[in-house]
């Protein structure tokens, strides 16, 4: 790790946080299904917030209340910036992905949820995709912990889309945002392979339906 890289890890997260907080403060947000979030949050028990990778910029700043969240972050060097930023926002992080350290990261998240009562945040299509395709991690975590999964999606009327595999979105200044929460998904304990796939498909269907609602609000079929 070079001195310049170490310095960037110190400087980039707070600069990013300040700029995005300013940007998001100009946006007008309308929430639908907020009662699902409030019901789970008020129980003071762990739950799993599940969202698509494209939405990570605004999601990192939305509905983070208190220091009782843990997020899974890719084990790549670039993701060190994300991990550092989330730590500054008060979240604990575990490092891993489907291709590198994913099982270990799930075990660490289970420990954070069970021992410390933290809520979990998971990008359900992973760090490399395919985009809008749910991977099994959130289902396994829910089965092991008994925590419900809360689907969460947002869309915007004005935004920048990066040329990445998921077309990561950053809302433009003064954009209108539509935030949609779905009904919690409860996964049975000790889930088997066939049931795991059924739950994975169920969660994917719920998230895609919310995606169509959030973006469709602005007449957009696919961001």
Q: Secondary structure of the chain in the HEC alphabet?
A: CCHHHHHHHHHHHHHHHHHHHHHHHCCEEEEECHHHHHHHHHCCCCCEEEECHHHHHHHCCCCCCCCCEEEEECCCCCHHHHHHHHHHCCCEEEECECCEEHHHHHHHHHHHHHHHCCEEEEECCCCCCCCCCCCCHHHHHHHHHCCCEEEEEEEECCEEECCCCCCCEEECCCCEEEEEECCCECCCCCCCHHHHHHHHHHHHHHHHHHHHHHHHCCCCCCC
Give the domain ranges of the chain: 3-216
For range 74-83, the mean pLDDT:
72
pLDDT, tens only, 39-72: 999 998 999 999 999 999 999 887 665 568 898 8
The whole-number pLDDT of residue 4 equals: 81
The whole-number pLDDT of residue 202 equals: 98
The whole-number pLDDT of residue 196 equals: 95
Residue 214 has pLDDT above 90, yes or no: yes
pLDDT, tens only, 140-198: 999 999 999 999 999 999 999 999 999 999 999 999 999 999 999 999 999 998 899 99
Residue 218 has pLDDT above 80, yes or no: yes
The whole-number pLDDT of residue 86 equals: 79
For range 207-217, the mean pLDDT:
98
* 29 against 88, higher pLDDT: 29
The whole-number pLDDT of residue 49 equals: 96
pLDDT, tens only, 86-110: 777 778 888 876 666 678 888 999 9
Residue 12 has pLDDT above 60, yes or no: yes
């Amino acid at each position: 790790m070079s001195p310049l890289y170490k310095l960037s890890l110190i400087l980039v997260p707070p600069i990013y946080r300040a700029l995005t907080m300013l940007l998001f403060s100009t946006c007008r947000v309308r929430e639908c299904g907020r009662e699902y979030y409030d019901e789970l949050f008020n129980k003071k028990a762990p739950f799993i917030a599940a969202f698509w990778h494209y939405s990570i910029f605004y999601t990192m700043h939305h509905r983070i209340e208190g220091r009782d969240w843990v997020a899974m972050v890719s084990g790549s060097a670039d993701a060190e910036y994300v991990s550092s930023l989330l730590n500054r926002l008060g979240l604990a992080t575990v490092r891993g992905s489907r291709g590198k350290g994913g099982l270990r990261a799930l075990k660490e998240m289970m420990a954070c949820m069970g021992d410390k009562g933290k809520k979990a945040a998971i990008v359900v299509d992973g760090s490399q995709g395919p985009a809008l395709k749910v991977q099994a991690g959130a289902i396994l975590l829910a089965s092991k912990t008994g925590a419900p999964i809360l689907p969460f999606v947002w869309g915007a009327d004005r935004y920048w889309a990066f040329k990445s595999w998921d077309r990561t979105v950053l809302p433009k200044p003064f954009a209108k945002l539509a935030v949609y929460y779905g009904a919690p998904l409860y996964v049975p304990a000790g889930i088997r392979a066939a049931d795991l796939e059924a739950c994975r498909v169920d969660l994917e269907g719920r998230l895609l339906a919310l995606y169509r609602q959030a973006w469709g609000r602005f007449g957009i079929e696919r961001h």
